[in-house]
Amino acid sequence: MRPERETTITKVISEFWQLDEGSRIPHDISVLTNVFRTGWKFVGFLPSFQEYPPAVLKVYFQGDGFDHEVKGISAANSFPPIGNVTTPKVLRIIPEYKAIITEYIKMHDSRSALRWIHVGNQSVNWKDLGSWLRSFHDSETTNQQNKTFIEHKIQKSYDQIEKFATRFSDNHVKQINSLISAAHEDLSHNLIEWVISHGDFHTGNLKISGNSTYIIDFENTTITPRGYEVIHFQSCIEATIYFMFRKQMFCLLSKEFLDGYGIVFPLNTLNNYFCLLGKLDTISYYHKRKNKTKNIFTKIMFYLLEHQTIKALAKWVDLILKDQPEH
């Protein structure tokens, strides 16, 4: 770690523990449990000290992640917990150092959607989860477009289908590109409702501890169309290995989630596009994991998941997009 960043983390810890200037912290930060570190962010476990409990320390070194996270946390704390669905308690926000310190909660590792959605780990209340997301979205609404969202998602969609074009028939590629074009038109010219969104609402950011579900990592908080986050989330989890072969179970939990959210999203161009985004993102995720792992058995598993998800998308195109007009 760069010396100046190590100094920043030391200052954050000293301020949180209210140490006198010049006092040494009782732990060398090099022994802090490092959870995640990139060129722009550090996340680590902070040990207990005197009356201060163990905590999760997050420091942003560049980018807009800190501002987005503060905005998301503020929105999430603007309403009470929904059942057992909530967020970790914020212990301290230090804007000077772009630092956020939250309570430490021992949680199940949910970074893998395959692990989180396992049948033995279904303590999450899907209806409460849907209600929580509805309350979060309702905390800020607008009719003003987020042009950055539109351009980023549309370009990403075209890039993804171009990357995997050889895995689909020419007609499937044509139909998908037609849907993307139609969605771009709707997003750019039609008056729709936009809401504050988590921005990265997937199983890896839903942490389970006992009977409670915690939503974490709001650093991608943004403004999106009302249906985007709900439909994208469902589309992604439908493609996990657990639901891929258990359609009835997915339909049951999906209904509970949507009942909690309280809005029915009809089949139309935009909602079909949001569903497509989830499917393309899942294919891209499996493809990336397949190429990244060196374990041959893991590589085969992700290859099969990627293959199965591509087949499922082709069937979805045949079923949903067969009658759509060309653009």
Of the three residues 103, 127, 146, the one that is the final residue of a domain is 103
- Please check whether residue 326 lies inside any domain of the structure: no
Q: pLDDT for 40-74, tens place per residue? A: 899 988 888 888 999 999 999 999 999 999 999 99
So what's the pLDDT on residue 27?
Answer: 56
| Residue numbers in the chain where pLDDT is lower than 70 | 1, 21-38, 109-122, 241-245, 321-327
Give the span between the Cα atoms of 180 and 85, in whole angstroms: 34
CA dihedral over 173, 176, 180, 182, signed as positive or negative: positive
Of the three residues 103, 133, 149, the one that is the final residue of a domain is 103
So what's the pLDDT on residue 110?
Answer: 55
Domain that holds residue 96: 3-103
* Claim to verify: residue 120 and residue 84 sit in the same structural domain: no
* Claim to verify: residue 245 and residue 268 sit in the same structural domain: yes
- Please check whether residue 277 lies inside any domain of the structure: yes
Q: Tell me the whole-structure pTM to 2 decimals.
A: 0.90
Q: Which of 44, 48, 37 is nearest to 1 (CA)?
A: 37
CA 32 from chain centre, in angstroms, equals: 26
Identify the residue whose tokens are 């759509």: 324
* Claim to verify: residue 184 and residue 54 sit in the same structural domain: no
How many CA atoms does the CB half-sphere of 175 hold within 13 Å?
19
CATH number at residue 59: 3.30.200.20
CB atoms within 10 A of CB 6: 14
- Please check whether residue 108 lies inside any domain of the structure: no
CATH number at residue 209: 3.90.1200
Alpha carbon separation from 122 to 38, 133, 175, 183, 249 (Å, rounded)? 32, 18, 37, 35, 12
Q: Which residues are 225's β-sheet partners?
A: 194
Alpha carbon separation from 232 to 29, 62, 187, 227, 285 (Å, rounded)? 39, 28, 16, 8, 14
* Claim to verify: residue 38 and residue 93 sit in the same structural domain: yes
So what's the pLDDT on residue 106?
Answer: 86
* Claim to verify: residue 80 and residue 135 sit in the same structural domain: no
Query: What is the three-class DSSP state of 197?
Result: strand
The 10 Å CB-count burial string (b at 16+, else e) for 286-295 is bbebbeeeee
Alpha carbon separation from 193 to 133, 140, 145, 190, 197 (Å, rounded)? 16, 11, 9, 10, 12
As for how many domains the chain has, the answer is 2
* Claim to verify: residue 312 and residue 218 sit in the same structural domain: yes
Question: Identity (one letter) of the amino acid at 243?
Answer: F
- Please check whether residue 164 lies inside any domain of the structure: yes
Q: What percent of the chain has pLDDT over 70?
A: 86
* Claim to verify: residue 174 and residue 316 sit in the same structural domain: yes
So what's the pLDDT on residue 326?
Answer: 58
The answer to whether the beta carbons of residues 37 and 61 sit under 8 Å apart is no
Consecutive H or E run containing 90:
strand 90-94
* Claim to verify: residue 154 and residue 280 sit in the same structural domain: yes
So what's the pLDDT on residue 119?
Answer: 42
Backbone angles phi, psi at 68, to 5 degrees: -65, -40
Alpha carbon separation from 63 to 8, 38, 40, 66, 244 (Å, rounded)? 16, 12, 7, 8, 37
